Structure formats: C-alpha cells, structure tokens
Amino acid sequence: MLGSAWPARAQVFINEVLENPPGAGLHETGWEYVELYGSPGTPLDNMFFLVLKGGADDNRDGTPEVLPEVDEVFDLTGFVLGPDGFFTLVGNRADGESPIADLAFTTNTRFDPGKAESRSNARWSSAATFSAVSSRDQGSRPPRLDNHGSSTYMIVRVDPDDPGRPALSPGTCHDADFDGEFDPIVFVNGAPVVWPMLQVIDEVAWSNRAGREYTISREHQISETHGLNPDAISRVAFYVDNPMRGSRTQDRASADGRVSGFVVRSTSTADESFFYGTLDSERFPKSLVYFAGYDIDGWPQLCGPTDRTRIPYGNLTADPQPDTDPFPAPVARDPRGDIYLDDLFPRGFAATPGRHNDHAPSGIKQFRVIPGDLDFNSVVDDVDVAIARALVGASIDDTVGDPGSPSGLRYKWQGPVLQQICAALSALGTHGDSNRTITAEHVAAVHAMRTRQMP
C-alpha cells in the first residue's frame, strides 16, 4: 500500500527556513516560513514536514531544563512543487492573514475569500499557511516555529498504515531520556504509542542552549556557534558527502559549562550547504537581508560555506573566534597552511521565499535540480552514470532489519542516497508505481543526459 501512496520521483529539499523573525516577538506569527524546493511538479503526497525541538541544557549537566518535543507537524499531502520547483509554508496570524506571503506571492485568482483556505481553495499558487497544513489543535493560537533551544527540520515519508503515526503530534515528547535518539515508545494523551518508522528525505538541524538534534547523520547538523542562534538558514548547495572544504573551532566546555580552550574540527556537510545567521533588523520586514556584521562580543552574525580564497592558518592553535575574549589577539595566517576558518560573507545576501537565492555581487548561485545529476554538482557526466549503475536494483521501498526499531525494520535508503535514487528515477520522467526501482533503462537515460549543465 505504501508503494502506491508515495511519488517515485520525490526530489524535495529543505531550501530555506525563517524561524525567528526580528522584532522581539512582534513578528512571531505571520513572518515565519519554510521553503521546499525540488523537481517541478513533484507531488508531496504522504510526506510530512516535521519541526522537532531538542530541549535545553543550559548548565550542560545532562539534565534538561526544557524537554524535547515535537513542535509542529505539517501534512504536505495534496500539494505539488510549483513550475519553478518551489512550495512554501508560510506563517499566519489568528485571522488567517500572512504578511510574508503577501510580500512574496501573488494571490490565486481562483481563491474564494468567503471560504477557509484549504488544498482545494489555495490562496496562493505554490504556497500554503501553517494553519492549512498543521496537525495541531490550533484553538486561538496559530501554528508557529519555536525558536528556543535546538531545532531539527525534516521532510519525511510515513506509511499511512503505520500504527505509530499518532506519535507525530505537536507536544509529544520524543526523547524523554535526553539521549539524542527517538524513544521507541512515546506517550500521546497519556497512552503509549510506538514511534513510527520514518524515511528521511531531507533534514537539517542546529543546536542552541546545549539541546539535542535528531538527524540521521551528524553531517546534517550545523556546527554549534555560541555567539549565534540563527534566525534563518538558506541553502546554496547540496552534497552527498562532506566536501571537506574547511574547519570550525569549537569551545571545549567543562561539565559546569565553563569554557577551557577549544578544538579544531572539520566543517559539517550542513556548514558547507547553508548560509545561516540573523536578519538585518533595521531593514526587516521590507527586506529579508542577512546582517553581515558582528555582535557586541565580536561574533559574526552570518556564517556559511568556507571561503577558500582567504589565506589559511598554519597550525591547530589558530582561533580567530572571540570565544570568552571579546577582543582576541590577531592570529597569524600562513599561505602554506591548510586550516581554512573563514566563511563566505556576502553583504546583501537575503532570504528569498518562493525563488532562488542567487547573489550576483558575489557570484553565489543556489544549486538547481537537474534530472540525471546524481552527485548534485550541476553537471550530468560519467560520474553520474557510474552512480546510477551502482544503484541498479535499489528501490525507494527497500527495508532492512533493525533490532533497535519497534517494528524490527527501517528504511534502507535515507537522506542523500535516497535523493540519488530519486534523481536516477527522474531520468525517465515518470511518476508511475512501476518506476520505483532503478534499472538498466535508468542508467541509459542518465547516460543520454551527459553534459547538461546548470542554466
């Protein structure tokens, strides 16, 4: 039954999230949004967008002051990615109005304002309000994105017959022992429920206040930056594996939370895939531009992929971040070094709901989905053919045994590899149920697409 309920060509990515609009609560509703991007025309049936909070452990003693919980669950069934590949979930006020949507989108001419917004009565093309897709019992409070503590965002597939689906309810504590893993049994309205088997299509997370993240891979977690809790994130690249482009310094904290030195770690895949930071409060809401500056302690308020054009550092004592010292001593660079700690810092880079976030002054272009591009480098070449050939026989429905799962099973393909399978399936350009397993025909189709490049 699951096979007929999920589109085979499901290349869908988390492209942009505005979690915490500037304004100290004034814009908490109506200005938040989540932008999805992928293959134009892709149905989003049987997919959910999950917002998971990882609690808070401010003194870092392992006992959370705030427990993790499911924050929001948005049901995407019935919607499709638009002709440009975008679909945007927009925050709304109690009266249903959405200032961010009014800023970014044109009202659908067929929308009937006398009726409630719904999948069949869409207010905007390629967009819907949180209220229209939320599973929350809303009452007088419209759904919103909680910006306190750690955040995990996921696009997931869930079997419609999975008995654990009720666990995907806002307010459910999914990690009572605070170990960073989903609990096999959770409680919904006081009743025990088995946590559902999820297939993660895409994900991203970041830590704040020493909370937990719930991605299937640590590579999909943005490195913790003590001087920055991002307002928003904007994707500019998608990698299957960590490109190993740079490094981050991370404070070494004692059990009581005191910082004692630092360590140098490789940037994560998420670090190299997103810009993240605070928005320029002086220009918001007329503009959603990021603040390319520093806070009072010297922490940069815009971070992103590594800038490989800057002179690197030469040894592991290099730490240009202010940490506990608001005026750190200059750190010598070494042209012969290999420790790259500087991020790209494009002034004027902005969040752009419903369209590509390209930045002409710096030459930054967001990645585009190209059928047959299995390594997501914007070119279809022999490498993509080799990947497709290696995946022959793989099906999006494959499962493997997992003793730690309540069902004893888990989906074999998750995240980037699942995206590769979907990219190979899309080479034939069909959505049919028979097009769910990679065959030699898909390999031949990828081969025929070689030399295609980003427009």
pLDDT of residue 371: 85
In 3-state terms the chain splits into helix, strand, coil percentages (rounded to 5) of: 10, 25, 65
pLDDT of residue 301: 93
pLDDT of residue 251: 73
pLDDT of residue 2: 45
Going by their DSSP bridges, the two strands 399-401 and 409-411 should be labelled as antiparallel
350, 104 in Cβ contact below 8 A? Answer: no
Please identify which residue in the block is written with the tokens 């390319």. 292
What is each CA distance from 232 to 31, 253, 351, 399, in whole angstroms?
12, 26, 8, 34
Write out pLDDT tens, residues 80-121.
999 999 999 999 988 888 999 998 998 888 899 888 887 788
Write out pLDDT tens, residues 200-220.
999 999 998 889 999 999 999
* Residue whose C-alpha is closest to residue 235's, from 367, 134, 114: 367
Extents of the domains making up the chain: 3-303, 382-448
Does the pLDDT value for residue 159 go beyond 90? Answer: no
Does the pLDDT value for residue 237 go beyond 90? Answer: yes
Task: Note the maximum CA span of the chain.
Answer: 67
Distance CA 321, CA 250 (A): 9
For residue 156, what pLDDT band results from cuts at 50, 70 and 90? very high
pLDDT of residue 430: 57
337, 315 in Cβ contact below 8 A? Answer: yes
Distance CA 334, CA 412 (A): 44
pLDDT, mean of residues 29-58: 93
Q: Looking at the DSSP assignment, which residues form a beta bridge with residue 295?
A: none
Gyration radius of the chain's alpha carbons: 22
Distance CA 180, CA 169 (A): 19
pLDDT of residue 433: 47
For residue 242, what pLDDT band results from cuts at 50, 70 and 90? very high
Write out pLDDT tens, residues 383-438.
999 999 999 999 999 999 988 777 788 999 999 999 999 999 988 875 444 578 99
Does the pLDDT value for residue 352 go beyond 90? Answer: yes
Q: What is the mean pLDDT of the chain?
A: 88
In the chain, the percentage of residues whose pLDDT exceeds 70 is 91
pLDDT, mean of residues 154-175: 92
Does the pLDDT value for residue 1 go beyond 50? Answer: no
* Residue whose C-alpha is closest to residue 393's, from 429, 424, 371: 424
Distance CA 6, CA 159 (A): 9
Q: What angle do CA 45, 51, 54 make, to 5 degrees?
A: 150
pLDDT of residue 228: 86
